[in-house]
Structure 1
Amino acid sequence: MEREDLDPGLVREIQALGNRNWIVIADQSFPLHTRRGVRTLIVDKEIPEVLGGVLDVLESQQHVSPIFYRTRELNFVENDAAPGIDSYRTAVDEALRGHHIRDFQYRYLSVVLEDDSKIFAVLVIKTKTALPYSSIFIELDSGFWDQKSEEQLRKKMESSPGS
């Protein structure tokens, strides 16, 4: 799936997000959150397709840089228990186009998302994927200011008189 295949309203929602916001490309069983600031959209596509389109949109934006997470549990789900999981993993890797993805336990990602959703927007794109632990979590970081620049700034401020 490419950006052009995404609903224009969804593209605008992604473009409106900024630093510290989250996007979850979720499987069918992902819970519907009732918290204000969490918006859920339903699409009739599989996670890898949606991931490719979302990545196209994010790569066209200067103001954000995506950090990708998946559940650690996914690495241990076998194809015998969840038919299609091996091809799903391959399709996600292809959709990421070389972007690094970090693995954390589902419970940890859920807690972080719940905590951040108290003050930052979360966009949940619920797909038709029906595989365990298959949701992809995307944390948006600043696209024009990296961690190294922030650390240098803080160090400079600390050494400045009157700080």
Structure 2
Amino acid sequence: MSFLGRFTAIILTALSVGCGTMGHQKTWQDSVNNQVHQLGYRNWIVIAEASFPAHNRPGIRQVNADAEIPEVLDYVFNALEETQHVKPHVYLTREMRAVENDFAPGINELRKKIVGALHGHESTELDQQSLVTLMESANQNFDVLVIRTPTALPYTSVFLELQPGYWDAESEDRLRERIRRERMDRVTRPIP
């Protein structure tokens, strides 16, 4: 084989190997899509700022995203809305509201972007340690997905506790009340 023929064969092989591996690179979005569809009631998703601690417990999965919290949050909400089997209960850290822009430049703008990325969901504020404790407690029985972002502002992690998407708290309360009444009716029936 001539030099030109060998050179062409090497180039074609390199290109085919390079093109073949390019299609197999998994993005953070692919990981999130795959994992969100596996999660259900009582699972948690944390969209975490850069210093959020890595966990090595079974059941905690971590994805590294190359996007800031508002963009990742928006993406996660879109993915959850597609599943329809779960909906998030949103928790924000109480500390985030209290951090001043003078000490953490950019926090005011980030707070606005986070609220805008919530897709209209209301949020509950708890201190970060309480949220971490709730998440770790849930992890004893349920999976947690942590999506770590490069966002470098304190207390900006967003915690999502997944609830059934097709069953709400009011429906659950009515069901429990009906079951309680039926039990009471059985207990109080006279014996024939």
TM-score (norm 2): 0.79
1:122-154 deviation digits (Å, cap 9, x = unpaired): 000000000000000000000111111111111
Aligned identity (percent) is 45
CA contact (8 A) 1:6 1:53 kept: no
Alignment of 1:1-163 (within 5 A): 7-161=29-183, 162=186
Aligned-residue RMSD, C-alpha: 1.4
**For 2:67 and 2:46, how far apart are their aligned partners in 1?**
14
The one-letter amino acid of 2:66's match is D
Q: Which runs of 5+ in 2 are unaligned?
A: 1-26, 188-192
**For 1:153 and 1:60, how far apart are their aligned partners in 2?**
27
The runs of at least 4 aligned residues of structure 1 exceeding 3 Å deviation read: none
Q: Which runs of 5+ in 1 are unaligned?
A: none
1:79-101 deviation digits (Å, cap 9, x = unpaired): 11001101100110111132111
The one-letter amino acid of 1:137's match is F
What displacement does 1:11 show? 0.6
**For 1:28 and 1:69, how far apart are their aligned partners in 2?**
18
Q: Tell me the SS of whatever aligns to 2:37.
A: helix
1:32-78 deviation digits (Å, cap 9, x = unpaired): 11110000111111000100000101112221011111100011101
Q: Tell me the SS of whatever aligns to 1:7.
A: helix
Instruction: Tell me the matched-pair count.
Output: 159
CA contact (8 A) 2:90 2:160 kept: yes
**For 2:38 and 2:45, how far apart are their aligned partners in 1?**
12
The one-letter amino acid of 1:107's match is Q
CA contact (8 A) 1:71 1:103 kept: yes
**For 2:134 and 2:61, how far apart are their aligned partners in 1?**
17
Is 129-138 or 58-67 further displaced after alignment?
A: 58-67
Q: When you count helix as a share of all residues, which structure comes out higher?
A: 2
**For 1:64 and 1:102, how far apart are their aligned partners in 2?**
18
**For 1:9 and 1:106, how far apart are their aligned partners in 2?**
26
TM-score (norm 1): 0.93
